[in-house]
Chains A and B, each alone.
Chain A
Amino acid sequence: MKLYRPATVLVGVLFVLLGGLTRLVDTDQVYEDSTRVTAHGTIGQKIQYGDSAVTVTRMRFAKTFLADENDDKPIETDGIFVAVEYEAYRGTKDPGSNDVTLTADDGNIYESVAENASSGITFPQPGFTESGAFVFEVNTNDLKGLTFKLRTSQFFTGVPARDIAVDLAVPSDEVAKQLVDKAADQYVMPERSTRVDS
């Protein structure tokens, strides 16, 4: 007894081929998580994060840093400290929680080092803007393409998770070297402060 007609088999094979072809067409989609959306930006640019927003206001290189202006002993490193100052505006919706990291072209991922700072941006209450800073300890040989990344760690299912990537304007090793040479002797972490959004 003949189980399937040739036409049926042909349709089946066609579907298998179609499935394979669609996978080939968008290769990125196979490896990239399609439930995450990354917004790219530069220093000074207000980057939308849902109905909240994040701005990286300043980036500083420093040889030592003080976690608090009342500290008497600066923290030192063989590498370099990169301070990233930000402003976070809070909209209506709860932005959930997030983690921030620095990444470089070589693939290293740095986490914030200051012990009194949290590992992510804490958003203020609705209608307020909070400013603060993160300090990262970075290898001086790995500064090209330095990017500040915010990854949403807790969010509601059903909507794509929003991430932020801010290019910190270190396009080449020469620029990196200049920045390291001109690094400040000391960076004092500013206190987190909240103001009414204007």
Chain B
Amino acid sequence: MTDVGLLRQQIALLIERKRYGDAGRLLSEAISSEPEDPGFKLLAARLGIATADYRSARDNLEAALAQHPDNAEARQLMFELLCETGQFVEAEQTIIGLLHDYPEEAYFYALYAALMLKTLHIDKAAALAREGLRLDPTSSLSQVISLMVDVIEDRSHDASRRLEELVRENPDALHVAWSVVLVLQSRHRYAEALQVLRGIFRSVPDDKEAVAALIEMRVLSHWSMLPLTPLQRYGWVGSGVLWAVAVLSVFLADRFAPQITSSLVVFYLGYVVYSWLWPPMLKRWLSARGF
């Protein structure tokens, strides 16, 4: 490998390790000595995306693409940048262009599937992930997208099978752990999901999403949430059914056992108040106190 190649490798590894300051310093040295090197421009774009400096990322990508319009890495990074900045229409055009040029690249299908899922085109996401898996059965991104579709469509058996495959192939990867949480949560196994989430959180304690998910899961798995199980399990449909059952029982009680009507109303109102007030209070309490 040439010196430039080695340097690119160093910078890429620094970015992977989130050592953005060090990577930035090396990059500015490298770019000042090799201003026309497209590899450094791509690394600068990667750094820009990682640090949310999207303007710099775009400038570098445009410069790299001006030199080499067909560069697949640059186009892939442009796709990632467009997704990050919410320019989904342009992102779709970019990834379709890539797929036309690289029709056998499973990873690009997976990226397109992720975009489709993000834009709620579930069937197309599923089809793209399937195509990605057909081309490369070990593609973990395609597997994760398929698993998400299975969870969305309530196909818990398929989700579990896919999860097993993911865990078998890549047991310690963070994205696999997140997939485990997703499947466990969809099966309402909150205590187990909490344990897995804790493991994830310990490795990314600076991730705000992980903190929020952990607190949410602790609330769901708290013993005091047990009375609210029907609402947790069936959501707002459960609330509607409970309301209908309550109204019907009060109506029937009023007709056939009026002496218990008031107790029934108080119980029902108490339950409603509990279900409304307790979860947010518990969340605040657990956030402040820890667990």
Q: Are the chains A and B members of one assembly?
A: no
